[in-house]
Amino acid sequence: MASKLGLEITITDLERLFRQAPGGHPPPPAAADADQGGRPPVRVAYQGGRGSYCQEAAAKAFPPSSSWKQLIIPCSEMEEAFAALEDGAADRAVVPAENSVDGPVPRNLDLLLRHPRVCIVGELVLPVNHCLLSLPHAPRSALRRVVSHPQAISHCRDRLRALHLRVEEVASAADAARFVAENRIADTAVIGSQIAAHEFGLRILENNLQDLASNFNRFLQLGLTGSTGAVVVEPNLDNNNNNHKTTVAFSLERGVSDLFRAMWIFESRGVRVTRVDHRPNRSSPVRVEERDEAGEIARFDYVFVLDLEGTASDPNVEAALAGLKEIAGFARVLGSYRCT
């Protein structure tokens, strides 16, 4: 890739550089970071580097106000955001949950199941805005290529064809934006976020480059369970259950064929199920069933994850969860929270 200085940089070099993110968590906030009331800032960890879409979500989920400050903590790996909560380096975390085009982020479901102290305390649904970014004063006619993460490229494929530029994939759109800005690479544009333009001083050539207008990201806000292991419910809940969700994970003692019974438990109590997902049951991945004619048959087993309307303290939800435990191998509430 040619810069204004004539430096040749390959995409492999870019990927290597973009993956060199510093590890570890920042130290606890200093007294100077406290607000006027002497309270330390709310520390919010997020998955990704500076300029990522998740940073954008974290800033919108926890905007600073006159009464408190925020400290945004980037985490290069998904596991780091969970670890930041558990080791006390962060008060909240923001992680991607699903995209309306590409579906869920299964890794974060797995991490929620593997970290029982972490629970969902909120969600945020944001429209995707893939921006075409370049150096501020570079002429558009100088552009020769566009780089970005494979997901962003797939979202913008039709629009990219119309640009007649070479398209190349990199591991991180945010790191690509930083690299282009720091190295003053005039012939390369990046598909990235609005916050990347702000963070690195890039120009937004085009907003909403994505092919589908109906493209949304859903992010989860995470916290820790209480000292008794109970799921933390944010204190601003009101009595309108249509504005709240409870997420529950469970396995079934008799296997997948009992899923209809689990669904009926909620339906019969007037609890609406708004989302169903499943993940491999890692503690017992294969179920062996006896069949008279076929002998033993091995089948994969699963953990189901449901989103329910209402809070965990709602009597109908409580009754349904109690009924679920009668047929479940295990059942755990992953969070009860305000939805958007």
Residue 268 CA to residue 18 CA, distance in Å, equals 51
Q: Give the pairing type, strands 188-192 and 166-169.
A: unpaired
pLDDT of 14 > 50? The answer is no
pLDDT(51) > 50: yes
Q: Which fold has domain 11-18+129-206?
A: D-Maltodextrin-Binding Protein; domain 2 (3.40.190)
Range in 58-62, 206-210, 261-265 with the lowest mean pLDDT: 58-62
Q: Is 100 exposed, middle or buried (0-12, 13-18, 19+ CB in 10 A)?
A: middle
Q: pLDDT value at position 87? A: 94
User: Fold identical between 11-18+129-206 and 34-127?
Assistant: yes
Record the pTM.
Answer: 0.82
45 and 73 in contact (C-beta within 8 Å)? yes
Q: Is the pLDDT of residue 8 over 60?
A: no
pLDDT grade for 298, boundaries at 50, 70 and 90: confident
Query: 34-127 has which CATH code?
Result: 3.40.190.10
d(CA 168, CA 149) in angstroms, rounded, equals: 9
Looking at residues 125-133, what average pLDDT do you find?
Answer: 97
pLDDT at 23 over 70: no
Residue 300 has pLDDT above 70, yes or no: yes
**Given pLDDT bands bounded at 50, 70 and 90, which one contains residue 242?**
low
pLDDT of residue 294: 62
Lowest-pLDDT choice from 11-15, 190-194, 229-233? 11-15
12-26 exposure pattern, b = at least 16 Cβ within 10 A, e = fewer = eebeebbeeeeeebe
CATH numeric code, 233-338:
3.30.70.260
Domain ranges of the chain: 11-18+129-206, 34-127, 233-338
